[in-house]
């Protein structure tokens, strides 16, 4: 029977990173050297050794097993459990409990970012021993809040409106369970007015104003309970990256991130939520009316069905029927995310790529199995009116109309996003010593 005497295992690897040798290299090279060394150790020790986490979630009685470990383990089982009597000084101090708590939900990109995160944790154990016992230091608190008692930590927020008087506990008569955002210009006010009325009081309404006009919206009664954020000439994905952090939208079960040019005459938000739950969809969108503007067959409304999760595309477009654009795919005009799926998608969104092109092909990386958890709701469908309002926010340059410059940037961003994803995955597989999967189609080339 495996017995662990100390639930938190910290092992000190400071000397290498604090020596003169690594200081001569850039952060990127230091990270790469660290991973390569981990890879060598992995090959030397065998499959039980994994970078950073070494051996977590593998043993039935223990969640934290690392190097060194105080445990009663038979010598014959030490290789199987990945337990070694190794006093290493080549990596920074690592608290396995802290890693697991803080980074267990990240995507594969986490392994490439983990070292820069962990360097802030170096010396945590020494800090605890150096401090006076009356001083608070809790390394498992959110970074920067280690000096606070855990009971006072409030790591999440929301968009609930509160009063300036009375008791806080009496502020909220209703706590909306869902969030819907529209990125709008005042010219589309009548369409947005009709759209908002399709959402019940269970929804928080958040408007992102790209034209700077907010006070005019007070002509609508619902606008007084909506949240308004105004920054000129910005896209909905620029807003989403900056104002929809997962810890801000955590109270909401589902997050709708929608364009302003959608006709919702045949749409009921509450019924939509019921169908999403019924069919287990983590990422979804309403079906598009066949005569309205759509690009992909996957998002086109199908008859006599509540939901569809796959389709047929043009010959040669779908080498795998479980991959986009034939499955595991929705467009970026009207996506709906579960809380968990949005947390992943938000981290995948690139801060400088504001149009979101290419995200639709990559969202499948945020749920598993994607071809079962991404789908289109046919019985609650919408019309894409294809109003080129965003293009009008561009600027005429070199004889090109404003919309042409916007479209050119969209395509450029799509290519850049694909390149970054391919490069990140290539580095991950190389570091882990894993043969990468077969290359996929570059949709920007079609």
- 113 in a domain, yes or no? yes
Considering the domain architecture, whether residues 129 and 85 belong to the same structural domain is answered as yes
Task: Decide which of 397 and 4 is more confident.
Answer: 397
Return the residue matching tokens 């606070």: 148
Considering the domain architecture, whether residues 119 and 226 belong to the same structural domain is answered as no
Instruction: Please check the confidence at residue 19 and state whether its pLDDT lies above 70.
Output: no
Considering the domain architecture, whether residues 365 and 255 belong to the same structural domain is answered as yes
- 401 in a domain, yes or no? no
Task: Decide which of 311 and 444 is more confident.
Answer: 311
Out of 71-85, 87-101, 208-222, 399-413, give the one with best mean pLDDT.
208-222
Pairing of strands 71-72, 3-4: antiparallel
Considering the domain architecture, whether residues 350 and 382 belong to the same structural domain is answered as yes
| Residue-number span of the structural domain to which 30 is assigned | 3-152
Instruction: Please check the confidence at residue 307 and state whether its pLDDT lies above 90.
Output: yes
Considering the domain architecture, whether residues 294 and 321 belong to the same structural domain is answered as yes
Considering the domain architecture, whether residues 240 and 325 belong to the same structural domain is answered as yes
Q: What is the mean pLDDT of residues 179-199?
A: 97
- 26 in a domain, yes or no? yes
24-82 pLDDT, tens digit each: 444 555 556 565 666 655 555 555 444 444 333 333 334 333 333 333 444 444 443 34
Considering the domain architecture, whether residues 131 and 220 belong to the same structural domain is answered as no
Considering the domain architecture, whether residues 268 and 125 belong to the same structural domain is answered as no
Considering the domain architecture, whether residues 144 and 182 belong to the same structural domain is answered as no
> In the prediction, which pLDDT does 27 show?
52
Considering the domain architecture, whether residues 201 and 65 belong to the same structural domain is answered as no
- 210 in a domain, yes or no? yes
Instruction: Please check the confidence at residue 127 and state whether its pLDDT lies above 80.
Output: no
Of 14-23, 165-174, 198-207, 351-360, the range with the lowest mean pLDDT is 14-23
Of 57-66, 321-330, 398-407, 413-422, the range with the lowest mean pLDDT is 57-66
DSSP state of 435: P
Domain end residue (candidates: 152, 179, 208): 152
Considering the domain architecture, whether residues 106 and 30 belong to the same structural domain is answered as yes
> In the prediction, which pLDDT does 306 show?
97
How many domains is the chain built from? 2
φ and ψ of 168, to 5 deg: -55, -35
Of 253-262, 333-342, 373-382, 399-408, the range with the lowest mean pLDDT is 399-408
Q: For the chain, give percent helix, strand, coil, nearest 5.
A: 40, 15, 50
Using alpha carbons, list the distances in angstroms from residue 225 to 158, 168, 203, 205, 221. 14, 18, 11, 8, 8
300: CATH? 3.90.550.10
Considering the domain architecture, whether residues 266 and 368 belong to the same structural domain is answered as yes
């Amino acid at each position: 029977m495996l017995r662990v005497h100390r639930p938190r295992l910290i092992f000190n690897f400071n000397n290498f990173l604090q020596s003169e040798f690594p200081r001569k290299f850039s952060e990127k090279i230091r990270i790469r050297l660290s991973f390569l060394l981990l890879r060598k150790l992995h090959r030397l020790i065998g499959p039980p050794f994994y970078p950073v986490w070494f051996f977590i979630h593998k043993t039935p009685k223990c969640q934290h097993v690392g190097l060194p470990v105080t445990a009663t383990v038979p010598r014959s089982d030490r290789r199987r459990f990945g337990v070694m009597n190794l006093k290493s000084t080549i990596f920074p101090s690592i608290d396995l409990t802290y890693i697991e708590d803080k980074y267990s939900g990240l995507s594969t990109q986490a392994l490439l970012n983990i070292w820069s995160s962990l360097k802030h944790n170096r010396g945590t154990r020494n800090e605890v021993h150096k401090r006076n016992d009356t001083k608070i230091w809790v390394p498992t608190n959110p970074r920067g809040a280690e000096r606070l008692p855990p009971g006072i930590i409030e790591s999440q927020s929301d968009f609930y409106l509160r009063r300036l008087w009375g008791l806080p506990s009496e502020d909220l008569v209703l706590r909306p369970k869902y969030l819907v955002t529209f990125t709008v210009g005042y010219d589309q006010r009548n369409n947005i007015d009709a759209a908002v009325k399709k959402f019940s009081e269970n929804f928080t309404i958040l408007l992102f104003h790209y034209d700077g006009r907010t006070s005019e919206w007070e002509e609508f009664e619902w606008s007084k309970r909506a949240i308004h954020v105004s920054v000129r000439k910005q896209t909905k994905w620029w807003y989403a990256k900056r104002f929809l952090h997962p810890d801000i939208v955590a109270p909401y079960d589902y997050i709708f991130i929608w364009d302003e040019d959608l006709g919702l005459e045949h749409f009921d938000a509450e019924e939509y939520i019921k169908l999403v739950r019924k069919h287990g969809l983590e990422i979804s969108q309403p079906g598009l009316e066949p005569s309205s503007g759509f690009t992909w067959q996957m998002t086109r409304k199908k008859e006599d069905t509540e939901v569809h999760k796959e389709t047929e595309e043009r010959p040669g477009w779908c080498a795998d029927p479980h991959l986009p654009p034939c499955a595991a795919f929705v467009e970026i005009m009207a996506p709906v995310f579960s809380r968990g799926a949005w947390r992943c998608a938000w981290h995948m969104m690139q801060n400088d790529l504001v149009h979101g092109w290419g995200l639709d092909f990559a969202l499948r990386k945020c749920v598993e199995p994607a071809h079962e958890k991404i789908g289109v709701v046919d019985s609650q469908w919408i019309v894409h009116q294809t109003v080129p309002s965003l293009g009008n926010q561009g600027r005429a340059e070199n004889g090109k109309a404003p919309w042409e410059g916007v479209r050119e940037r969209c395509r450029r961003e799509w290519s850049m996003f694909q390149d970054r994803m391919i490069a990140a995955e290539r580095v991950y597989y190389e570091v882990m010593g894993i043969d990468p999967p077969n290359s996929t189609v570059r949709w920007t080339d079609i």
